[in-house]
Structure 1
């Protein structure tokens, strides 16, 4: 759900400047795969939910990676809001109106107004206000703390969360949405900060810390549905992608599709509900069709209304 999955090249690098081909295409590939994983996860009628949910873990890690890179200056709060909260508001209203058309509440109020608003009019919208708050907070502490402190501090906090997951998982689920998602995402947030700042550490130290994280996941969380497999796959994919500098062929460029990943995340639930009503298809095929339909609709919108698209997808 989300590559932020975010619009200004994961909110960490300028929107203009470096050409598309100069981007690290291996990261762009991971953004695309993560987006597909989230689409797969939301199709609850098919197996492999934990594998698909790994896409969200990787999505969060990449978002925090670009937002907290040591060389990246903090963005103004208003800019962060335009990139993340404005699309959230647009889709909040869109899905809320769909709910009203189905004679359902605009937002779910089962757990109170605050929880309903934070969750959003569709369950997947919880991600944008959450990641906005987290990024803005790290913008405030990034420079004072420095890269080394951020690297060691964030990986320590991630390890503490993973080690204690049996203590907080039950209470967080009892609180229900969106607080359960917040707790589930917290370790991924800190791991994204770690990957962004660990380059100041010696290579053996980097690898030892990543190994410690993966061993902790295997030993303490692997049997826990919704945490063990998603974190093992998501963190492994992020480590393989972010730590090495891959030498891909210059002609390899998937930036055009990866730039649509936030839009795919935002609109895929609409297609997931609509397409089965229009064209009956096997459940295993549906996520692929939804992903393609979402990507094409976002791409077409960005091409035909580029200025408006900046505020929506």
Structure 2
């Protein structure tokens, strides 16, 4: 689910602001999966932006020089390899909960995306992100207006045939529909320097988006099922929230100092595992009848602590999709020099 650094290049300096947003997005994903919190308040509060945020950040950190083949190779290492490993591990745990294993259950694991639920609920995002960034890479040679036309066309198809799009294996249909968020992030970066007062601008945009939600003009989206809420309005609100959070974070987080930024970088670099494994911890803790906040805290902290240990072992590239972290690394104060 996370934008990962390449394994075949020296590690680039990171942005503490963007790493903070990754952590925030992961926490929002986990909160959205806590059953006791699955009412309208949580849906309207986090579902509109928590998944689009990662697509938006992929566009914001876009590097123009990579070919389609290079993109596929990179994402195969940083996204698909951990996806496959965790699919086997979590899938085995999921199947172990059943009295009888049917062929249809194994088929669902292979199809991924819409077809897997429960402890595998978040797995769809990984393949959707893969298809989204590869699709953007494939159309990057086209004029900008044509890229946007294709992205909007994919949205129109999704709005009209959500069931068809959602059921494309490995969330490929959703990935293509999410190209619009990647392009929005890329376009926002190109115009970022024109924004002279990021904090005020971000707060104004965020308040405007909140007003659209509170007024009922925009309803939450659920990308896994190709549900786009109030269609165009919800998509625009999602992009607006992502942009506002980025502006606010870029103003606030660097002021916390290099040490905090470095810790944020470390947490974010192994957050991929949290996305793919938190549902297992959540399911087991829910069985204990614990308070929702304890379930949330345990589902977030447990996988993250284990991931931090793995980060410094040879398993990091396989389980986390990142190189082994040998020592603390500095975090750049600005996101402007960072690429993925």
Return the structure number with greater relative CO, CA threshold 8 A, min gap 6: 2
Alignment partner, residue 173 of structure 1: 163
The alpha-carbon deviation at position 38 of structure 1 amounts to 0.7
- DSSP-derived class of the 1:55 partner: coil
Q: What do the CA deviations read for 1:77-116 (whole angstroms, capped 9, x no partner)?
A: 3232111111111111112212321226478559x76983
Distance 1:299 1:136, change over 3 A: same
Is the CA contact (8 Å cut-off) linking 2:121 and 2:279 kept in structure 1?
A: no
Match of 1:194 among 178, 184, 187: 184
How far apart are the structure 1 equivalents of 2:35 and 2:168? 19
How many residue pairs match? The answer is 283
State the superposition RMSD in angstroms. Answer: 4.0
Task: Give unmatched runs, 5+ long, in structure 2.
Answer: 196-200, 223-227, 321-340
Contact 2:19 2:265 (8 Å CA) reproduced = yes
TM-score, structure 2 length as denominator? 0.67
Q: By how many angstroms is 1:255 displaced?
A: 0.6
8 Å contact kept, 1:100–1:106: no
Maintained 8 Å contact 2:2/2:54: yes
Q: Are the counterparts in 2 of residues 5 and 262 from structure 1 also a CA contact under 8 Å?
A: yes
Match of 1:266 in 2: 276
Tell me the distance in 2 between the aligned counterparts of 1:157 and 1:118: 22
**Shift in CA distance, 187/177, structure 1 to aligned 2, threshold 3 Å:** closer
Unaligned runs of 5+ residues in structure 1 are: none
Q: Which residues in structure 2 correspond to 1:1-313 (within 5 Å)?
A: 4-8=1-5, 16-19=10-13, 23-46=14-37, 47=39, 48-53=42-47, 54-66=49-61, 68-70=62-64, 73-74=66-67, 75-103=70-98, 105=101, 116-119=111-114, 122-142=120-140, 144-145=141-142, 149-150=143-144, 152-155=145-148, 164=156, 168-169=158-159, 171-173=161-163, 177=167, 186=176, 188-200=178-190, 203=194, 222-223=218-219, 226=222, 227-228=228-229, 231=235, 234-242=238-246, 246=251, 248-249=254-255, 250-251=257-258, 252-253=260-261, 254-277=264-287, 279-303=288-312, 306-313=313-320
CA contact (8 A) 1:43 1:272 kept: yes
Structure 1 residues 179 and 81 mapped into 2: Cα distance closer, same or farther (>3 Å)? closer
Distance, in Å, in 2 between the alignment partners of 1:50 and 1:107 is: 37
